[in-house]
Amino acid sequence: MEVCPEWKFKNGPLPSHQQLVLCVLPDSEVYVLLFLEYLRALKETRILSTVRLLLQIRVFFTLSRNSSEMSSKQRGPGSC
Q: Which pLDDT score, from 0 to 100, does residue 25 have? A: 56
Range 59-64 average pLDDT: 69
- Of 52, 48, 75, 72, the closest CA to residue 62 belongs to 52
Is residue 48 included in any domain, yes or no?
yes
Q: Which pLDDT score, from 0 to 100, does residue 20 have? A: 54
Q: Which pLDDT score, from 0 to 100, does residue 11 have? A: 43
Is residue 53 included in any domain, yes or no?
yes
Q: How many domains does the chain have?
A: 1
Phi/psi at 62 (5° precision): -105, 140
Domain that holds residue 40: 24-64
Q: Which pLDDT score, from 0 to 100, does residue 53 have? A: 86
Bridge-based pairing state of the strands 20-21 and 8-9: antiparallel
Q: Which pLDDT score, from 0 to 100, does residue 67 have? A: 53
In tens, the pLDDT along 4-57 reads 444 454 444 554 544 555 555 556 677 777 778 888 888 888 888 888 888 888
